Amino acid sequence: MAGAARLIAGEKVPPRRWLGVGLGLLGIVVLADPLGQDWRASGILAGYILLLLASLSWALAIFHTRRHVWHLTPLQALPWQMLLASVLLTVFAAVFEPAGHIVPRGDVLLPLIYLGVFAGPAASWPSTSVARALPTVVTSLGFLAVPAIGLVISTLFLGETVTPALISGGLLIALGLVLVITARQR
């Protein structure tokens, strides 16, 4: 992301931000623990590829949000974005999960309605606003804090085992984030 911000968008990326990005990415590698995985196990490689594609998609979304010429505010565009996403996801689900179905019961539909009407928009609006306001590198590394915070929460509330990789990966991400945020542009 830092390279794209520098090469394509012409954003100045101070050396301290490059170091922060490197530490943040190293933290993600430590958390993912690729050397500790059984690569012959079913789904491991596909899972890592999907994670990388999701990361690339998010990076492209941040980059696009930063460079897009906005005619509406993120809050005004949000209903249309959610509607388009709902239609596309419904079509993809019908094509790629033909045997799948949603049971029209309250315990199934209520969480979907909550996600589509409240939780999805409540997360999309601020993330889009942040991506528009902050430099690309700061935004992308800032969002790396999300999985780190998720790991802390899962440790506290779900009994996730605290491992050296969990601690060192989280610390690397936090240090990278501090470097990126505190770097001054000249």
| Sign, Cα dihedral of 26, 31, 33, 34 | negative
Query: Are the CB atoms for 86 and 116 separated by under 8 Å?
Result: yes
Q: How far apart are the C-alpha atoms of 72 and 59, rounded to whole Å?
A: 22
The range of the structural domain enclosing residue 111 comes to: 2-182
pLDDT of 87 above 60: yes
Query: Are the CB atoms for 170 and 152 separated by under 8 Å?
Result: yes
What local confidence, expressed as pLDDT, does residue 7 receive? 47
What local confidence, expressed as pLDDT, does residue 165 receive? 86
The number of distinct structural domains making up the chain is 1
Q: What is the pLDDT of residues 124-177, one digit of tens each?
A: 888 888 888 877 777 777 787 787 788 888 888 998 888 888 889 889 988 988
Burial state string for 19-28 with b = 16 or more CB within 10 A and e = fewer than 16: ebbebbbbbb
Q: What is the pLDDT of residues 44-66, one digit of tens each?
A: 889 889 988 988 888 788 888 87
Query: Are the CB atoms for 149 and 8 separated by under 8 Å?
Result: no
